[in-house]
Amino acid sequence: MNMTLSPSVPSPSKAPKRRGSTRRRAISQLPPVQNQETHDAALHAIRNLLKGRTSYDAFPVSFRLIVLDTKLNVKKALQCLLLNGVVSAPLWNSEKSKFAGMLTVLDIIHLIQYYYDTANYEAAAADVETFRLESIRDIEKSLGVATPPMLAEHPDSTLYKAAKVLIQTHARRLPLLDYDTETGHELIVSVLTQYRLLKFISINCTREIQQLHLSLRKLNIGTYVSSTPPPQNPENHNPYWPIATATLDTPVFDVVHMFSERAISAVPIIDQDGVVVNLYETVDVITLVRLGAYQSLDLTISEALNQRSPDFPGVVICTAGDSLGTLLQLIKKRRVHRLVVVEGEEEEKKGGKKGRLLGIITLSDVLRYVIGEVSIGDAVESAEEIASLSAAPATPPSPDIVS
């Protein structure tokens, strides 16, 4: 017997009465609407938080502060930095009981550049034994590099104000100074870094960060390879201008010269196709100096990387389509100082090459946008706008990466 399954229809007279449901409707799991308005509102909330909190609030629970006397010789100062695992320290003038600026890895790079240009290895090694920190500014003047500004803030100043000052410092670190109530002398309380400030934001603004969904390239955060050659020497220009680059065969000293002349702290290492294979940083040069290998600056980058510490965390890369919120979440999880922007699947579909250098984003770039040097709502809307900004940026690009 053939049978067809069909729903049974009850008689209207016998239809059961429907009882009212006691269940509550579940909260929608759909993501909130994300647009320019929600992005701007989140950015505004973050800035308001910074205006209502002081630099004290960003201090870690426990920290150590290394302060170097300007009478200390450079070699001992460098050993002190390396032994304590730091790359910078405030300087103190003990004769005047006064803050005297910051010593950074870039200052050591300037010193290496000076000796490499003016003396042989033996003379340089001997002079470093007696050369004092107080004379470093004279070296910078002889090299024609800009003297770093003497900027500082009080720990009670708002994080927003401190951030405004922080992006102006050559050290990307802001000393926090107080005064002794009895003597009136300055006291170095701590040092606020860009990383510490951005991590404070990432920890305390979790909800707002989720709303920062616009892409890094659309927000014009970072410096990107320009399609327009520079006005000077357009025939022989760097195809990745305005970003300084090197290859594995480039001598270390050529990169040291880039560090010193352009006041940058890292150079992407690319292959013949422009694909990023590594990153050479100022701290890598200091590793050679620590080993007493002043003469090793004639090594190629490939040879020098073999002497890099096994603790090197690796190169952090991203694509231009990644969001600002994603970047801040990354800062919350790991120590990041810069990201190399490479071509991804989207660029590959348009004829690009996956992994090819596209740009660099530093913490200076991120902080400059977050605190408001770029006005809210100023996202770049089109590829044409992006290209024009790359060719002639409205605001000066970060000094950390420009060639």
Q: Which amino acid is at 94?
A: S
Q: What is the pLDDT of residues 175-224, one digit of tens each?
A: 999 998 888 889 999 999 999 999 999 999 999 999 999 999 899 999 99
The three-class DSSP label of residue 88 is strand
Output the pLDDT for position 294. 55
Output the pLDDT for position 147. 77
- Burial (CB < 10 A; 0-12, 13-18, 19+), residue 200, is buried
Output the pLDDT for position 25. 43
The three-class DSSP label of residue 5 is coil
Counting as low any pLDDT under 50, the low residues of the chain are 1-12, 21-31, 374-403
The three-class DSSP label of residue 76 is helix
Output the pLDDT for position 18. 55
Q: Are 165 and 174 in contact (CB under 8 A)?
A: yes
- Burial (CB < 10 A; 0-12, 13-18, 19+), residue 190, is buried
The three-class DSSP label of residue 300 is strand
38-76 burial code (b ≥16 CB/10 A, e <16): bbbebbeebbebbeebbbeebbeeeeeebebebebbbbe
187 sits in the region (left: phi over 0; alpha: psi -120 to 50; else beta) called beta
Q: What is the full DSSP assignment across 125-182?
A: HHHHTT-BGGGHHHHHHHHTPPPPP---B-TTSBHHHHHHHHTT-TTSEEEEEEE-TT
What is the pTM (predicted TM-score) of this model? 0.79
| Strand stretches in 17-87, DSSP E | 68-69
| Structure token pair of residue 104 | 């950074």
Q: What is the pLDDT of residues 340-387, one digit of tens each?
A: 999 988 888 888 899 999 999 999 999 999 987 544 444 444 334 433
Q: Are 253 and 116 in contact (CB under 8 A)?
A: yes
Q: Which amino acid is at 101?
A: G
- Burial (CB < 10 A; 0-12, 13-18, 19+), residue 298, is exposed
Q: How many CA atoms lie within 13 A of 3 on its CB side?
A: 4
Q: Which amino acid is at 194?
A: Q
**Which positions ≥6 away from 295 have C-beta within 8 Å?**
121
Can the peptide bond before residue 12 be classed as cis, meaning omega within 30 degrees of 0? no
Q: Which amino acid is at 268?
A: P
Please state, in angstroms and rounded to a whole number, the distance separating the CA atoms of residues 278 and 119: 31
- Closest listed residue to residue 49, CA positions, set 172, 154, 200: 200
CA-based angle 69:79:100, to the nearest 5?
A: 25
